[in-house]
């Protein structure tokens, strides 16, 4: 890393990013956010927690007597730690592909909407009907009425990452500290298999 | 819930080596795969949600900043009026004709007679109205507008005169009852969106004795069909006077209309009668009632309330005198109980200009009053900064109204009117109790608060610096007012909400907004309320859509975000010089790069938009190899159109930034709507405007520019062409289109 980015700068920059994200959801401009938005904020900062992991974080952030709101004073230190420790790491593209392939045991290259629905609304940390509907509306190929998951992943991988979308993607370094969405930046998980 | 962390793991082989006969994956594996996909997708949705939110923030920030700019424009008009600018021999008449409630030499009767004499040509294929109106007429109007026809100017004028007559006998506050009908329908802002109005009528039925409606203001501006909407609403108003009710909104204001599109729309659709139509609209708007009360329990106003709001006082206000909320009533010397300080009067020719309306933004009332007193001191040395505020403030560069942060300032206690002021008299100082603000000003204040205020969640009542008018009112203010008048609910509009409606103040305040896709296709829903005798509101939402297929969340976000970012980039471009100067201050070594922090700081302070700049940065500027922001890249995407008069970059930027204002001014000057103004008019206007803004402009540069735009060398400028040259092109979009 370049000299400019010593530990202090990293922390400051991270905290400013957190502050920015927090502010977007601080509707009343009083340094609090609705506890139901915590998942959205943390995820938008580059983390991929599971629902269970998220519940733990929220438990930590809530007040002694839950008010339905989370204060910035509590939010900042907890989330700074999460980002700096790179908890809840991103899922690399190939790992995601493998996940779909596990479900597609017949190796057809696609999944039926009913199949995917069954898996995602019954297994793991089930989707709500709304979540499932929204995913299907985006994922199902209108002509063939199946989910071509490889295409789906690569399209959304690109679009969900503005750095790749615009011509201004920096090739040399990840420009957002700790938000490594690209698979290369995360050590240790690339090339992993689902075990 | 979900799976635990320790699950017996089966031997996992690479997918390509899988034995094709295995149909079902192991349960453990399935669960893991499912969780992975769910984790990924939920993260993706969160990201979309973040984009949607900041897109929303961008639109709102720009909208409110624009409204603040509006105050600047109106102060310019005040400036022109007060200085009796002679533009091509058309004196104050030209401006005041449009801006002031000048007493028309023609009486109402004479005007109506003239209007009746207008002949509708044979070739006219639009609807014909006959007064008094009947259901046939309203149906004809609805049909005609659906087919994109225009109502002839004669009928528009007739409709307006009848509406004016009708509204004159209406009180400021209208009291309704639910006992005669099943339910009352309450709609919010429409802003020229005819599609939304038609959708509401389709879902909810047309207004009638069995189906009463209240429309809560902001019928016009922004959308392209404001005239159609207002015609329909007025027609139903005349047809069902007891079952159709309209509240005034902050856009039912001729000065707002100048900027936000209604004036332009009228002048474009009504070339012959446009000016007269606008004149009557000015009166009619100011005659619209200010509030509606249902069953003595539910108060409906467009914006909100303040801690000064009092329904009894409001009922006595002469509402028609408040033609525009943007023009503070002038104070005359008579209002002051001491006519002293003859020394100073020689400095300012004639009447000293006591009022400093909007050039200094919305300062608190008392401090404005203090300024007024101090102007009389003239040469007194003790008159510190405030004395300079009198006539020189007219030409001060635009500063104050933009200094206000988005977040509401902590609730300041407005200085009490009993503050004692020191005023010089002869050789000594006299203690004066500042006089009570004249009635006219108090009335104006009441109206502005009703039309412009927004609810906030902190207690107290503070000046709405963000908007530049009205207050932020807290739950305590709501509670107090509702209790004072025995009410249980406040329904208001004025703010766009994603779901079309929103509750706050513990359910005591409802915001209702009826223009769907207000910022952009897919940005928000519209909604209306139905209220029955039990006074429990029911909400109905809808969204107008151009496409028949339902857009995915992702597509909606993408479109809206693209639009917001374009608007933001244009803002950056419009302030290029300022931004570059500030960037360069941080870039001492001239590397062309500064840190993200520095970049965010500069942009926020120059644009004065409270947005999450760090989160937005990847969309607006590029990073260099060392991770710093290449600040010039923010301007790369935008270029001015091809056809541009040869001007210096600075002048180009200034013209670009103020092009909307210029357009409005040109439209006013161009009395016969020919699209042409003389070079002289152009030069004078530009000089005035730039001196008002405090922008240094080279005379020679203006002359050169003027002459070069005069393409056919006949001494006149086609200003539409001129303005067209300052439209920008978004290069990335062009590229996408070329590749797509």
Q: In terms of pLDDT, which residue wins out, B543 or B99?
A: B543
Q: What is the pLDDT of residues B690-733, one digit of tens each?
A: 766 666 667 777 777 777 666 567 777 777 667 766 666 666 66
Among residues A156, A176, A45, the alpha carbon closest in space to that of B46 is found at A45
Under the banding of pLDDT at 50, 70 and 90, the label for residue B426 is: low
Cβ–Cβ < 8 Å for B452, B467 = yes
Q: How far is B293 from chain A (nearest CA, A)?
A: 28
Q: What is the pLDDT of residues B277-297, one digit of tens each?
A: 988 999 999 999 999 999 999
Q: Do B25 and A103 touch (CB under 8 A)?
A: yes
Cβ–Cβ < 8 Å for B266, B227 = yes
What distance in Å separates the CA atoms of residue B475 and residue B489, rounded to the nearest whole number? Answer: 12
Q: What was the pLDDT predicted at B474?
A: 93
Both structure tokens of A143: 């002509």
The position carrying tokens 């100067």 is B581
Q: What was the pLDDT predicted at B298?
A: 97
Q: What is the pLDDT of residues B597-642, one digit of tens each?
A: 899 999 999 988 888 898 898 889 988 888 889 999 888 887 766 5
What distance in Å separates the CA atoms of residue B488 and residue B293, rounded to the nearest whole number? Answer: 11
Least confident of B25-29, B426-430, B518-522: B426-430
Q: How far is B612 from chain A (nearest CA, A)?
A: 5
- Nearest residue, CB atoms, A51 vs list B2, B407, B553: B2
Q: What was the pLDDT predicted at A76?
A: 93
- Highest-scoring range by mean pLDDT, A117-131, B381-395, B655-669: A117-131
Q: Do A168 and B47 touch (CB under 8 A)?
A: no
Q: What was the pLDDT predicted at B259?
A: 74
The position carrying tokens 């004395």 is B387
Under the banding of pLDDT at 50, 70 and 90, the label for residue B494 is: very high
In terms of CA atoms, which chain B residue is nearest residue A160?
Answer: B44
Q: What was the pLDDT predicted at B468?
A: 61
Chain A contact set for B619 (CB, 8 A): 162, 166
| H helix intervals, B575-648 | 576-586, 596-607, 613-620
Q: What was the pLDDT predicted at B671?
A: 60
Mutate to test the interface with A, among B47, B475, B503, B566 (most CBs of A within 10 A): B47
Q: What was the pLDDT predicted at B734?
A: 62
Among residues B603, B613, B564, the alpha carbon closest in space to that of A19 is found at B613
User: Would you call A11 an interface residue with chain B, using a CB distance cutoff of 8 Å?
Assistant: no
ipTM (interface pTM): 0.81
Q: What was the pLDDT predicted at B122?
A: 87
Q: Do B45 and A25 touch (CB under 8 A)?
A: no
- Nearest residue, CB atoms, B1 vs list A48, A125, A134: A125
Chain A contact set for B21 (CB, 8 A): none
Chain A contact set for B23 (CB, 8 A): 105-106
User: Would you call B113 an interface residue with chain A, using a CB distance cutoff of 8 Å?
Assistant: no
Mutate to test the interface with B, among A10, A25, A43, A132 (most CBs of B within 10 A): A43
Q: What was the pLDDT predicted at B733?
A: 64
Among residues B83, B61, B69, the alpha carbon closest in space to that of B661 is found at B69
pLDDT surpassing 70 at residue B478: yes
pTM over 0.80: no
- Nearest residue, CB atoms, A194 vs list B12, B22, B54: B12
In terms of CA atoms, which chain B residue is nearest residue A168?
Answer: B622
Under the banding of pLDDT at 50, 70 and 90, the label for residue A180 is: very low
Chain B contact set for A43 (CB, 8 A): 42-43, 46-47
User: What is the mean predicted confidence (pLDDT) over A63-85?
Assistant: 88
What distance in Å separates the CA atoms of residue B46 and residue B415, rounded to the nearest whole number? Answer: 46
Q: What was the pLDDT predicted at B705?
A: 72
Residue positions counted in chain B: 740
Task: Kindly list the strands in the beta sheet with B501-504, ordered across the sheet, starting from the edge strand earlier in the chain.
Answer: B173-176, B291-294, B298-300, B489-492, B509-512, B501-504
User: What is the mean predicted confidence (pLDDT) over B379-395?
Assistant: 26
User: What is the mean predicted confidence (pLDDT) over B132-157?
Assistant: 94
- Nearest residue, CB atoms, B2 vs list A44, A50, A100: A50
pLDDT surpassing 70 at residue A138: yes
Give, in order, the Cα–Cα distances in Å from B476 to each of B106, B303, B467, B636.
49, 17, 21, 49
- Nearest residue, CB atoms, A160 vs list B44, B597, B621: B44
In terms of CA atoms, which chain A residue is nearest residue B16?
Answer: A107
pLDDT surpassing 80 at residue B262: yes
pLDDT surpassing 70 at residue B349: no
User: Would you call B713 an interface residue with chain A, using a CB distance cutoff of 8 Å?
Assistant: no
What distance in Å separates the CA atoms of residue B298 and residue B487, rounded to the nearest whole number? Answer: 6
Q: Does the N-terminal peptide bond of residue B132 adopt cis geometry, omega within 30 degrees of 0?
A: yes
Q: What was the pLDDT predicted at B728?
A: 67
Pick the catalytic residue from B191, B243, B245, B251.
B251
Is residue B433 exposed (0-12), middle (13-18) or buried (19+ Cβ within 10 Å)?
exposed
- Nearest residue, CB atoms, B615 vs list A21, A100, A120: A21
Q: What is the pLDDT of residues B287-325, one digit of tens each?
A: 999 999 999 999 999 999 999 999 999 999 999 988 888
Q: Kindly calculate the radius of gyration of chain B based on its CA atoms and give it in whole angstroms.
A: 29
Q: What proportion of chain B, given as a percentage, has pLDDT over 70? A: 66
pLDDT surpassing 70 at residue B202: yes
Q: What proportion of chain A, given as a percentage, has pLDDT over 90? A: 18
Least confident of A103-117, B81-95, B197-211, B249-263: B81-95
User: What is the mean predicted confidence (pLDDT) over A30-40?
Assistant: 89
User: What is the mean predicted confidence (pLDDT) over B432-446?
Assistant: 75
End-to-end CA distance of chain A: 33
In chain A, positions 60-89, which contact chain B (CB-CB < 8 Å)? none
User: Would you call A189 an interface residue with chain B, using a CB distance cutoff of 8 Å?
Assistant: no
Among residues B644, B653, B618, the alpha carbon closest in space to that of B711 is found at B644
Q: What was the pLDDT predicted at B19?
A: 46
Is residue B18 exposed (0-12), middle (13-18) or buried (19+ Cβ within 10 Å)?
middle
User: Would you call A119 an interface residue with chain B, using a CB distance cutoff of 8 Å?
Assistant: yes
User: What is the mean predicted confidence (pLDDT) over A114-133?
Assistant: 90
- Nearest residue, CB atoms, A20 vs list B18, B45, B615: B615
Q: What was the pLDDT predicted at B554?
A: 78
3-state secondary structure of A111: strand
DSSP state of A106: T
Chain B contact set for A193 (CB, 8 A): 12, 14
Among residues B175, B200, B219, B204, the alpha carbon closest in space to that of B494 is found at B219
Q: What was the pLDDT predicted at B725?
A: 66
Q: In terms of pLDDT, which residue wins out, B573 or B105?
A: B573
In terms of CA atoms, which chain A residue is nearest residue B637?
Answer: A167
End-to-end CA distance of chain B: 46
User: What is the mean predicted confidence (pLDDT) over B348-370?
Assistant: 32
User: What is the mean predicted confidence (pLDDT) over B111-128?
Assistant: 83
- Nearest residue, CB atoms, B47 vs list A29, A43, A166: A43
* Residue A57 exposure: Cα atoms within 13 Å on the Cβ side: 28
Residue positions counted in chain A: 195
What distance in Å separates the CA atoms of residue B31 and residue B27, rounded to the nearest whole number? Answer: 6
User: Would you call A131 an interface residue with chain B, using a CB distance cutoff of 8 Å?
Assistant: yes
In terms of CA atoms, which chain A residue is nearest residue B561?
Answer: A162
Q: Which residues contact B294 (CB under 8 A, 6 or more apart)?
A: B176, B177, B178, B184, B214, B300, B531, B535
Q: Do B39 and A28 touch (CB under 8 A)?
A: no
- Tell me what the pLDDT averaged over chain B comes to: 75
Chain A contact set for B30 (CB, 8 A): 102-103, 119, 123
Under the banding of pLDDT at 50, 70 and 90, the label for residue A185 is: very low
User: Would you call B621 an interface residue with chain A, using a CB distance cutoff of 8 Å?
Assistant: yes
Q: What was the pLDDT predicted at B405?
A: 33
B180-210 b/e with 16+ CB inside 10 Å = b?
Answer: ebebbbbbbbbbbbbbbbbbbbeebebbbee
Q: Do A43 and B43 touch (CB under 8 A)?
A: yes
User: What is the mean predicted confidence (pLDDT) over B124-149?
Assistant: 93
- Highest-scoring range by mean pLDDT, A50-64, B11-25, B541-555: A50-64
- Nearest residue, CB atoms, A91 vs list B1, B39, B408: B39
pLDDT surpassing 70 at residue B353: no
Q: What was the pLDDT predicted at B635?
A: 87
* Residue B720 exposure: Cα atoms within 13 Å on the Cβ side: 8
3-state secondary structure of B539: strand
Q: Which residues contact B392 (CB under 8 A, 6 or more apart)?
A: none
Query: Beta strand B291-294 with B173-176: parallel, antiparallel or unpaired?
Result: parallel
User: Would you call A151 an interface residue with chain B, using a CB distance cutoff of 8 Å?
Assistant: no
Q: How far is B631 from chain A (nearest CA, A)?
A: 13
- DSSP letter string, B139-169: HHHHHHHHTT----HHHHHHHHHHHHHHHHT
- β-strand partners of B87: B90
Cβ–Cβ < 8 Å for B471, B456 = no
Among residues B39, B55, B18, the alpha carbon closest in space to that of B556 is found at B55
Q: What was the pLDDT predicted at B221?
A: 92
Chain B contact set for A31 (CB, 8 A): none
Q: What was the pLDDT predicted at A39?
A: 92
Under the banding of pLDDT at 50, 70 and 90, the label for residue B465 is: low
Per the annotation, the verdict on B348 as an active-site residue is no
3-state secondary structure of B1: coil
Least confident of B53-67, B236-250, B372-386: B372-386
Q: How far is B1 from chain A (nearest CA, A)?
A: 7
Q: How far is A64 from chain B (nearest CA, A)?
A: 23
pLDDT surpassing 50 at residue A195: no
Q: Do A134 and B45 touch (CB under 8 A)?
A: yes
Q: What was the pLDDT predicted at B3?
A: 40
Q: What was the pLDDT predicted at A172?
A: 26
Q: In terms of pLDDT, which residue wins out, B558 or B510?
A: B510
In chain B, positions 502-541, which contact chain A (CB-CB < 8 Å)? none
Q: How far is A92 from chain B (nearest CA, A)?
A: 10
Q: In terms of pLDDT, which residue wins out, B190 or A104?
A: B190
- β-strand partners of B70: none
Least confident of A6-10, A15-19, A152-156, B345-349: B345-349
User: Would you call A155 an interface residue with chain B, using a CB distance cutoff of 8 Å?
Assistant: no
- Tell me what the pLDDT averaged over chain A comes to: 76
């Amino acid at each position: 890393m370049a000299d400019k980015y010593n530990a202090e700068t990293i922390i400051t920059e991270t905290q400013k990013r957190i502050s920015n994200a927090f502010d977007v959801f601080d509707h009343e401009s009083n340094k609090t956010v609705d506890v139901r938005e915590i998942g959205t904020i943390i995820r938008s900062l580059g983390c991929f927690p599971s629902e269970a992991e998220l519940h733990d974080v929220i438990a930590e952030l809530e007040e002694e007597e839950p008010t339905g709101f989370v204060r910035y004073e509590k939010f900042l230190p907890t989330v700074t730690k999460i980002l700096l420790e790179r908890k809840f790491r991103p899922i690399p593209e190939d790992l995601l592909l493998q996940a779909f392939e596990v479900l597609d045991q017949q190796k057809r290259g696609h999944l039926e909407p009913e199949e995917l629905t069954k898996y995602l609304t019954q297994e793991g940390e089930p989707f709500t009907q709304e979540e499932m509907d929204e995913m299907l509306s985006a994922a199902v190929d209108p002509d063939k009425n199946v989910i071509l998951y490889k295409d789906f992943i690569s399209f959304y991988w690109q679009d969900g990452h503005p750095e790749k979308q615009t011509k201004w993607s920096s090739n040399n370094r990840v420009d957002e500290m700790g938000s490594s969405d690209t698979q290369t930046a995360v050590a240790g998980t690339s090339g992993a298999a689902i075990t | 819930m979900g799976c635990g962390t320790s699950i017996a793991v089966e031997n996992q082989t690479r997918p390509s080596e899988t034995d094709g006969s295995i149909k079902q994956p192991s349960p453990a594996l399935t669960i893991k795969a499912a969780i992975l996909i769910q984790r990924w997708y939920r993260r993706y949705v969160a990201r979309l949600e973040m984009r949607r939110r900041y897109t929303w923030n961008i639109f709102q920030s720009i909208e409110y900043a624009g409204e603040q700019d509006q105050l600047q424009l109106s102060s310019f008009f005040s400036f022109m009026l007060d200085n009796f600018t002679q533009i091509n021999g058309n004196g104050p008449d030209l401006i005041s004709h449009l801006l002031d409630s000048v007493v028309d030499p023609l009486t109402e009767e004479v005007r109506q007679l003239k209007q009746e004499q207008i002949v509708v040509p044979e070739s006219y294929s639009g609807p014909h109205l006959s007064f008094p109106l009947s259901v046939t007429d309203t149906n004809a109007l609805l049909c005609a507008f659906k087919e994109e026809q225009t109502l002839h100017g004669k009928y528009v004028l007739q409709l307006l005169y009848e509406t004016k007559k009708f509204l004159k006998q209406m009180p400021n506050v209208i009291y309704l009852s639910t006992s005669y009908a099943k339910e009352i329908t309450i709609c919010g802002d429409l802003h020229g969106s005819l599609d939304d109005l038609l959708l509401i009528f389709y879902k909810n039925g047309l207004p009638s004795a069995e189906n009463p409606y209240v429309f809560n203001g902001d019928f016009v501006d922004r959308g392209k069909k404001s005239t159609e909407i207002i015609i329909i609403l007025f027609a139903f108003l005349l047809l069902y006077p007891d079952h159709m009710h309209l509240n005034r909104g902050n856009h039912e204001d001729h000065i707002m209309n100048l900027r936000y599109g209604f004036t332009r729309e009228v002048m474009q659709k009504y070339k012959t009668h446009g000016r007269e139509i606008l004149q009557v609209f000015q009166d009619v708007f100011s005659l619209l009632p200010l509030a509606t009360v249902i069953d003595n329990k539910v108060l409906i106003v467009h914006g909100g309330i303040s801690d000064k709001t009092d329904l009894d006082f409001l009922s006595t206000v002469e509402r028609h005198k408040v033609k525009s909320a943007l023009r503070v009533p002038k104070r005359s010397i008579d209002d002051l109980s001491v006519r002293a300080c003859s020394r100073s009067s020689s400095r300012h020719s004639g009447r000293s200009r006591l009022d400093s309306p909007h050039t200094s933004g919305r300062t608190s009332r008392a401090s404005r009053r203090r300024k007024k007193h101090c102007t009389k001191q003239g040469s007194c040395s003790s008159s510190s900064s405030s004395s300079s505020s009198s006539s020189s403030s007219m030409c001060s560069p635009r500063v104050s109204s933009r200094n206000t942060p988005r977040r509401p300032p902590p609730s300041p206690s407005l200085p009490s009117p009993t503050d004692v002021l020191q005023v010089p008299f002869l050789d000594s100082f006299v203690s004066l109790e500042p006089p009570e603000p004249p009635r006219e000003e108090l009335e104006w204040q009441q109206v502005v608060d009703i039309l412009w205020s927004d609810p906030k969640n902190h207690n107290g009542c503070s000046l709405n610096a963000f908007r530049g008018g009205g207050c932020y009112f807290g739950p305590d203010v709501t509670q107090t007012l509702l209790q004072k008048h025995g009410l249980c609910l406040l329904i208001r509009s004025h703010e766009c909400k994603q779901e079309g409606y929103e509750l706050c103040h513990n359910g005591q305040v409802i915001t209702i907004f009826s223009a769907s896709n207000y910022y952009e296709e897919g940005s928000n829903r519209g909604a209306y309320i139905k209220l029955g005798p039990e006074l429990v509101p029911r909400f109905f939402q809808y969204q107008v859509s151009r496409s028949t297929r339902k857009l995915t969340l992702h597509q909606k976000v993408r479109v809206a975000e693209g639009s917001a970012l374009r608007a933001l980039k244009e803002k950056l471009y419009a302030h290029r010089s300022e931004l570059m100067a500030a960037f360069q201050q941080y870039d001492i070594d001239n590397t062309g790069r500064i840190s993200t922090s520095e970049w965010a700081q500069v942009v926020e302070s120059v644009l004065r938009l409270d947005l999450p700049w760090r989160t937005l940065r990847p969309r607006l500027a590029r990073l260099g190899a060392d991770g710093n922001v290449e600040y010039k890249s923010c301007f790369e995407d935008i270029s001015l159109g091809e056809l541009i008069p040869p001007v210096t970059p600075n002048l180009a930027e200034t013209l670009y930034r103020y092009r909307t204002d210029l357009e409005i001014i040109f439209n006013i000057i161009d009395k016969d709507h020919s699209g042409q103004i003389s070079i002289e008019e152009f030069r004078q206007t530009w000089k005035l405007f730039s001196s008002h803004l405090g922008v240094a402009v080279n005379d020679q540069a203006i002359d050169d520019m003027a002459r070069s735009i005069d393409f056919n060398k006949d001494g006149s400028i086609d200003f539409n062409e001129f303005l067209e040259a300052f439209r920008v092109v978004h290069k990335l979009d062009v590229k996408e289109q070329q590749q797509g």
